[in-house]
């Protein structure tokens, strides 16, 4: 089963008798299906049914009802509206909607293109009466229904016995004489007719199973998130060597569990981690032809993945100038260029949540989904005509639907276009989910892991096979008219749409004429005036008319006498330029208009204004939004006002939300080595006591941290350490150093040995300790190098020297063998080199780095430069739109800034903080209480290395102090979950990594039960938590 609800529906078919238990067995055919079956079964057991979204409007089905009503007798619009009010899907259908559908069925659009189509019903526009004829009855009886024709071929024997149906694509790829399985027998193809396959029974040797391609809406975002959480647990089980057991717990038998485990292990070998609810994988690889492809592994379901694929393909097209194709399913999407271009990195990070809907709406007509849904809707709306004898070939239906769509491409108000757009955006896609995923990517709550793979990963295989089919078959051709309309819309889609209130406000009149002279000036500048359109005395118009300065002309409008020739050209001579002038001025001074309103105002034939307005849009003099037209200048002014008003709409949140924001940025799913690199990148440039790095900071951010992981990372050259003058350790990125400069001279004199070592390093470059011994006539440079490192003059490409520096006093008193082992370890410390000066950073670069650390900048969070200097830069950036200013967090000074690229994600994270408990060392920079945030009453603690803080939605709920000996509880309700989270972290060596056990000696009396439930063992009056051996 593809969805949880369909699986539960099938399960419900079993055990129908009262008292019987429903039992279901799933039979996967592949390892991927085995994994999907296990995930589905687990979510079923948890009751995770997908949400239901009833359809809305359904104008195609409404068309069927209108024809069938006409076939049964005469009716009018009021009769239809009374009937529609009794059906929930039609609750939003208006009189204008019904009228538009009736005009469509009457053939108005075809007749305007000189197509002699027969009306599907008879619509009297004067009386509003609707009736039918024999053709209406034929349509209602022979072509009604809502199940679309998917082109299935009937399978029958030569004697005419019907056996079943085959998919059109399977028939295309079959040849006469091919064998296939259907039912319990094998059949050989004897003949292929236009709508049937004639077969004869044969032996099963060499017979292949046929395939069918159905319409799959895809799993919902909620189910995808549930699958992602389970995959994250499977990834953790893989890291702890318990993957096979975790798969069996999902309900897989031994054989399927082994197959799924093998597939997941091969996937992790390529991508490092599994995609999950917090991680997307962007896998770049070359196909068999050497063409670059990008596979994005996403568990969020087709309803989110397909629109994400469209957004990514449009962005890649803009960046590369190459047409980008895509295929999507429930587990991700694959982008492939029609050319040799390499798809850019960080594609998903460049997508903007606030413009996603407008881009998707503009690109929608270019998608196969739109064309397929349009064909289905056109058939349901009875717009495809009567079927001849037998079934109308599907390729004929596709061509007719494509031609109809091409003719209607620029008519956004047409019922079929509206219904197709609505069905795609609301029923097939989850736009709210797309925005939330993009916001999560920008906030860091969902991480995108980019990687270059030599070979495609196993999970990319299904989509790679779909890529071949997408290139072979074009089931939804896009004709030039449709493509031109979509590309025009895409040119404006990436801009922010103005708020309706701002659009209405910019079109409002701010000044009324005060006398007849001002009224005449208004007629000259703003054009015609309808009676009652302005609250001015009628006598003014009478006086102007008597003086020959104003005229009242036939459509019922007042004009300035000087403009009589212009209106004569527009209204009598039908001059297009004059008409365009009137309409453009109408939009500018009378506000937004629909095409119907313009036709009514000037008494033009229906459709005249639509053509003029469309031409103004092409010339960028007007803008269309939701079938309403605006003057381009007013529209742009409303857009700017919308941007300004957004700054005033920022909601201030309590200070704990900021703590939740920082803590959530640390929740990363990646292999341990990659997580270590990310941790050093975030902590780069910040100095801490040497002992804190491997006892507090790095273990808390990298589960299962081991010292050799840091040595391996340092040996790669991406990061290096150095001592600061305060004898703290600071890690720096390799790019931070000015490698072209000479090492800085020391601030104090060096001994002869130190000078000799420094000279040797400057001369030879990075060198092993054994080579440096030659500069000291064979003496060991060990102590000298440690001394120079402490002075900040040299560094090594491992962390071994720092560890030995920390243990130097203990080593002095250690036995000889231990000292010898320490010296031997020092020899494997890697190469030593002189510390180079750091590149000077501009004030702008310092502000960017401060944003990287604090996310929200204000007087309380700024670091690296004075606030006054930063404020000058931030004020300039606000003016240019680079940052957004607002009062985001309560308790801070009022001038707070967020980067514009981070704004939507930061606001979302502040308004919707994650609920799970997160433990952090009190000294970690991501823990802001007692630093940038003032401690809350009765929730204060010391920011020292032995203190751990539990945060729930950013609020401190519990604290371990003195290496875990003291437990303080601020929120008893959250304590059980917090202690269980601590137990998991302690088991992974994230907290107190050098201790084999934690003994809680002081604790609240009511915490005993929670301690025991979390795995603590009573030891006299204490509670002790032991770490498993080998962890």
Beta strands 447-452 and 279-286 are: parallel
Out of 122, 142, 162, a domain closes at 142
Tokens standing for residue 539:
């006598």
Out of 875, 893, 913, a domain closes at 913
Give me the mean pLDDT over the 687-704 stretch: 92
Of 766 and 1002, which is predicted with more confidence?
A: 1002
Query: Could you tell me if 629 and 683 lie in one domain?
Result: no
On whether residue 249 sits in a domain, the answer given is: no
Average pLDDT value over all residues in the chain: 85
Unique residue bearing structure tokens 């005993």: 1008
d(CA 468, CA 475): 14
Query: Could you tell me if 434 and 319 lie in one domain?
Result: yes
838 within 8 A of 732, measured Cβ to Cβ: yes
pLDDT band per the 50, 70, 90 thresholds, residue 981: very high
pLDDT recorded at residue 974? 93
Phi–psi pair at 225, nearest 5 degrees: -65, -40
Winning range, highest mean pLDDT, from 701-715, 764-778, 813-827: 701-715
Give me the mean pLDDT over the 72-89 stretch: 90
Q: What is the CA radius of gyration of the chain?
A: 36
pLDDT in tens, 158-196: 888 888 888 776 776 677 888 888 877 889 999 888 778
Of 411 and 544, which is predicted with more confidence?
A: 544
pLDDT recorded at residue 1000? 94
Summarize the chain as % helix, strand, coil (round to 5): 50, 15, 35
pLDDT band per the 50, 70, 90 thresholds, residue 951: very high
Tokens standing for residue 443:
């906030």
Query: Could you tell me if 771 and 890 lie in one domain?
Result: no
pLDDT recorded at residue 641? 74
- The DSSP 8-state label assigned to residue 355 in this structure reads G
74 within 8 A of 80, measured Cβ to Cβ: no
Q: Exposed, middle or buried: residue 1015 (CB in 10 Å: 0-12, 13-18, 19+)?
A: middle
On whether residue 35 sits in a domain, the answer given is: no
Residue numbers of the domain that contains 599: 500-648
d(CA 529, CA 544): 13
pLDDT recorded at residue 618? 82
pLDDT recorded at residue 395? 61
Q: Is the pLDDT of residue 1009 over 70?
A: yes
Query: Could you tell me if 893 and 929 lie in one domain?
Result: no
Residues 6 or more apart from 424 whose CB is under 8 A from it?
Answer: 364, 367, 369, 370, 373
Query: Could you tell me if 291 and 421 lie in one domain?
Result: yes
Beta strands 729-733 and 719-723 are: antiparallel
pLDDT recorded at residue 149? 67
Query: Could you tell me if 463 and 584 lie in one domain?
Result: no
- What region, left, alpha or beta, does residue 493 occupy, with left being phi > 0 and alpha being psi -120 to 50 degrees? alpha
d(CA 456, CA 458): 7
Q: Is the pLDDT of residue 551 over 80?
A: yes
pLDDT band per the 50, 70, 90 thresholds, residue 698: very high
Query: Could you tell me if 380 and 457 lie in one domain?
Result: yes
pLDDT recorded at residue 454? 77
In 3D, which of 235, 420, 442, 464 has the Cα closest to residue 331? 464
Of 388 and 884, which is predicted with more confidence?
A: 884
Report CA dihedral (515, 520, 521, 527) to the nearest 10 degrees: 130
Q: Is the pLDDT of residue 476 over 60?
A: no
In 3D, which of 427, 452, 598, 485 has the Cα closest to residue 51? 427
Give me the mean pLDDT over the 996-1001 stretch: 93
d(CA 79, CA 51): 34
CA atoms within 13 A on the CB side of 820: 3
Out of 620, 648, 676, a domain closes at 648
On whether residue 253 sits in a domain, the answer given is: no
pLDDT in tens, 715-770: 888 899 999 988 999 999 998 998 888 887 787 788 888 888 888 888 888 888 87
On whether residue 231 sits in a domain, the answer given is: no
Tokens standing for residue 648:
């005033």
Unique residue bearing structure tokens 């219904």: 419
Q: Is the pLDDT of residue 18 over 60?
A: yes
On whether residue 250 sits in a domain, the answer given is: no
Query: Could you tell me if 291 and 416 lie in one domain?
Result: yes
d(CA 920, CA 701): 9
| 44-48, Cβ contacts within 8 angstroms, sequence gap of 24 or more | 44/4, 44/7, 44/8, 44/11, 46/226, 48/4, 48/222, 48/223, 48/226
Q: Is 347 helix (H, G, I), strand (E, B) or coil?
A: coil
Give me the mean pLDDT over the 973-981 stretch: 94
| Cα separation values, 851 from 698, 854, 893, Å | 21, 5, 17
516 within 8 A of 543, measured Cβ to Cβ: yes
Phi–psi pair at 321, nearest 5 degrees: 75, 15
Query: What residues does 997 pair with on adjacent strands?
Result: 1026
In 3D, which of 472, 349, 489, 466 has the Cα closest to residue 417? 489
Query: Could you tell me if 185 and 116 lie in one domain?
Result: no
358 within 8 A of 497, measured Cβ to Cβ: yes
d(CA 421, CA 482): 13
Q: What angle do CA 944, 950, 954 make, to 5 degrees?
A: 105
Q: Exposed, middle or buried: residue 515 (CB in 10 Å: 0-12, 13-18, 19+)?
A: exposed
Residues 6 or more apart from 335 whose CB is under 8 A from it?
Answer: 293, 294, 296, 309, 312, 313, 316, 324, 325, 326, 343, 347
- CA–chain centroid gap for 867, Å, is 35
Query: Could you tell me if 817 and 742 lie in one domain?
Result: yes
Query: Could you tell me if 951 and 904 lie in one domain?
Result: no
Residue 91 is part of a domain; what is its CATH number? 1.10.10
Unique residue bearing structure tokens 């437990």: 967
Q: Is 727 helix (H, G, I), strand (E, B) or coil?
A: coil
Which helix H or strand E contains 795, and what residues bound it?
strand 794-796
d(CA 891, CA 883): 21
- CA–chain centroid gap for 465, Å, is 24
Unique residue bearing structure tokens 């031609």: 403
pLDDT recorded at residue 5? 85
In 3D, which of 909, 916, 915, 704 has the Cα closest to residue 235? 704
Give me the mean pLDDT over the 596-616 stretch: 87
Q: What angle do CA 1019, 1022, 1024 make, to 5 degrees?
A: 70
Unique residue bearing structure tokens 């798809």: 343
Q: What angle do CA 1020, 1022, 1027 make, to 5 degrees?
A: 110
On whether residue 259 sits in a domain, the answer given is: no
On whether residue 18 sits in a domain, the answer given is: no
Unique residue bearing structure tokens 């196969």: 368
pLDDT recorded at residue 915? 81
pLDDT in tens, 415-432: 998 999 899 888 889 999
pLDDT recorded at residue 119? 86
d(CA 755, CA 337): 59
Largest CA distance in the chain: 120
Inter-axis angle of helices 752-764 and 782-790, to 10 degrees?
90
Q: Is the pLDDT of residue 7 over 80?
A: yes
690 within 8 A of 729, measured Cβ to Cβ: yes
Could you give the strand order of the β-sheet that contains 129-131, starting from the edge strand earlier in sequence? 75-76, 129-131, 122-124
In 3D, which of 471, 460, 461, 466 has the Cα closest to residue 295? 460
Beta strands 162-166 and 153-157 are: antiparallel
Strands annotated E in 298-416: 324-329, 332-337
| Cα separation values, 992 from 248, 433, 901, Å | 33, 39, 37
Question: How many C-beta atoms surround the C-beta of residue 776 within 10 A?
Answer: 15
pLDDT in tens, 851-906: 999 999 999 999 989 999 999 999 888 766 788 888 899 999 888 999 987 887 78
Give me the mean pLDDT over the 120-142 stretch: 85
Q: Is the pLDDT of residue 391 over 80?
A: no
Q: How many residues does the chain have?
A: 1031
pLDDT in tens, 679-692: 999 999 999 999 99
Q: What angle do CA 708, 714, 719 make, to 5 degrees?
A: 140
On whether residue 906 sits in a domain, the answer given is: yes
Query: Could you tell me if 308 and 451 lie in one domain?
Result: yes
Report CA dihedral (199, 204, 205, 208) to the nearest 10 degrees: 70
The percentage of the chain sitting over the pLDDT mark of 70, rounded to a whole number, equals: 90
Strands annotated E in 830-978: 832-834, 856-857, 883-886, 896-899, 917-921, 948-952, 955-961, 966-969
Overall domain count for the chain: 7
């Amino acid at each position: 089963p593809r969805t949880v609800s369909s699986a539960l529906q099938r399960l419900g078919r079993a055990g129908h008798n009262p008292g019987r238990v429903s039992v279901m067995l799933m039979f996967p055919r592949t390892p991927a299906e085995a994994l999907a079956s296990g995930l589905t079964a687990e979510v079923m057991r948890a009751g995770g049914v997908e949400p239901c979204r009833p359809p809305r409007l359904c104008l195609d089905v409404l068309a069927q009802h209108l024809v069938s009503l006409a076939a049964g007798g005469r009716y009018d619009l009021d009769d239809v509206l009374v009937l529609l009010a009794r059906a929930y899907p039609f609750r939003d259908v208006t009189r204008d909607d019904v009228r538009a559908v009736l005009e469509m069925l009457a053939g108005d659009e075809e007749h305007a293109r000189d197509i002699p189509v027969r009306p599907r019903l008879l619509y009297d526009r004067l009386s509003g009466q609707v009736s039918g004829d024999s053709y209406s009855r034929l349509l209602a009886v022979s072509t009604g229904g809502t199940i679309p024709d998917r082109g299935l071929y009937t399978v029958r024997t030569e004697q005419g016995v019907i056996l079943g149906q085959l998919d059109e694509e399977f028939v295309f790829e079959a040849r006469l004489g091919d064998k296939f399985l259907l039912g319990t027998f094998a059949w050989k193809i004897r003949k292929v007719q236009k709508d049937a396959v004639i077969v004869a029974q044969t032996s099963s040797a060499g017979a292949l199973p046929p395939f069918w391609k159905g319409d799959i809406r895809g799993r919902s975002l909620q189910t995808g998130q549930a699958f992602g959480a389970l995959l994250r647990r499977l990834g953790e089980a893989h890291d702890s060597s318990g993957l096979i057991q975790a798969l069996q717990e999902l309900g897989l038998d031994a054989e399927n569990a082994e197959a799924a485990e093998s597939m997941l292990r091969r996937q992790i070998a390529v991508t490092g981690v599994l995609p999950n609810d917090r991680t997307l994988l962007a896998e770049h690889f070359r196909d068999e032809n050497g063409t670059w492809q990008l596979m994005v592994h996403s568990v969020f379901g087709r309803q989110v993945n397909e629109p994400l694929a469209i957004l990514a393909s449009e962005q890649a097209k803009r960046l590369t100038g190459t047409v980008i194709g895509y295929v999507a399913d429930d587990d991700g999407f694959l982008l492939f260029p029609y050319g040799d271009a390499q798809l850019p990195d960080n594609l998903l990070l460049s997508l903007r949540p606030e413009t996603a809907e407008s881009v998707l709406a503009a690109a929608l007509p270019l998608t196969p989904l739109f064309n397929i849904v349009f064909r289905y809707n056109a058939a349901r709306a009875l717009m495809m005509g009567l079927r001849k004898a037998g079934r109308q070939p599907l390729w004929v239906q596709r061509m007719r639907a494509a031609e109809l769509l091409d003719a209607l491409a620029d008519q956004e108000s047409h019922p079929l276009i509206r219904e197709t757009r609505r069905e795609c955006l609301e029923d097939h896609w989850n736009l709210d989910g797309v925005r939330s995923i993009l916001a999560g990517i920008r906030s860091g709550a969902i991480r995108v892991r980019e990687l270059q793979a030599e070979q495609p990963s196993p999970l990319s295989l299904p989509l790679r096979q779909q890529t071949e089919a997408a290139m072979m078959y074009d089931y939804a051709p896009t004709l030039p008219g449709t493509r031109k309309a979509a590309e025009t819309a895409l040119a404006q889609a990436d801009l922010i749409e103005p708020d309706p209130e701002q659009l209405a406000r910019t079109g409002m009149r701010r000044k009324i004429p005060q006398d007849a002279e001002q009224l005449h000036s208004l007629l000259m500048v703003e054009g015609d005036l309808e009676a009652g359109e302005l609250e001015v005395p009628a006598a003014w118009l009478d006086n102007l008319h008597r003086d020959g300065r104003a005229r009242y002309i036939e459509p019922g409008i007042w004009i300035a006498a000087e403009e009589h020739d212009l209106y004569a050209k527009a209204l009598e001579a039908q001059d297009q330029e004059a008409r365009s002038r009137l309409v453009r001025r109408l939009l500018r001074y009378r506000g937004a208009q629909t095409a119907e309103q313009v036709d009514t105002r000037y008494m033009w034939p229906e459709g005249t204004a639509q053509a003029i307005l469309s031409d103004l849009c092409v010339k960028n003099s007007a803008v269309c939004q939701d079938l309403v037209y605006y003057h381009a200048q007013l529209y742009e002014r409303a857009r700017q006002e919308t941007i300004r008003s957004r700054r005033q709409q920022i909601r201030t949140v309590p200070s704990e939300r900021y703590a939740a924001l920082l803590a959530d940025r640390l929740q990363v799913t990646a292999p341990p080595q990659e997580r270590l690199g990310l941790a050093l990148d975030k902590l780069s440039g910040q100095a801490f006591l040497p002992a804190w790095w491997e006892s507090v900071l790095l273990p808390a951010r990298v589960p299962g941290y081991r010292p050799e992981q840091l040595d391996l990372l340092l040996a790669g050259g991406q990061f290096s350490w150095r001592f600061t003058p305060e004898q703290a350790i600071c890690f720096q990125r390799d790019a931070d150093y000015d490698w072209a400069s000479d090492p800085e001279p020391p601030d104090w004199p060096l001994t002869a040995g130190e000078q000799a070592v420094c000279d040797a390093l400057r001369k030879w470059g990075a060198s092993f300790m054994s080579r440096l011994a030659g500069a000291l006539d064979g003496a060991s440079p060990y102590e000298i190098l440690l001394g120079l490192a402490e002075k900040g003059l040299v560094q090594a490409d491992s962390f071994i020297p720092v560890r030995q520096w920390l243990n130097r006093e203990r080593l002095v008193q250690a036995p000889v063998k231990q000292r010898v082992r320490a010296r031997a370890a020092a020899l494997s410390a890697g190469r030593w080199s002189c510390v180079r000066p750091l590149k000077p950073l501009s004030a702008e670069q310092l502000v960017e780095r401060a944003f990287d650390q604090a996310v929200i900048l204000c007087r309380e969070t700024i670091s690296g430069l004075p606030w006054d200097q930063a404020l000058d830069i931030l004020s300039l950036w606000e003016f240019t739109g680079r940052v957004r200013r607002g009062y985001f967090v309560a308790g801070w000074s009022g001038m707070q800034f967020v980067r514009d690229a981070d704004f939507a994600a930061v606001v979302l994270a502040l308004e919707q903080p994650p609920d799970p408990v997160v433990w952090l060392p009190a000294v970690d920079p991501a823990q802001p209480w007692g630093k940038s945030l003032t401690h809350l009453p009765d929730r204060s603690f010391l920011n020292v290395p032995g203190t751990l803080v539990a945060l729930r939605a950013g609020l401190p709920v519990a604290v371990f102090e003195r290496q875990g000996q003291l437990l303080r509880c601020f929120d008893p309700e959250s304590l059980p979950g917090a202690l269980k989270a601590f137990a998991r972290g302690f088991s992974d060596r994230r907290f107190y990594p050098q201790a084999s056990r934690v003994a809680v000696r002081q604790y609240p009396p009511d915490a005993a039960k929670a301690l025991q439930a979390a795995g603590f063992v009573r030891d006299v009056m204490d509670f002790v938590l032991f770490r498993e051996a080998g962890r």
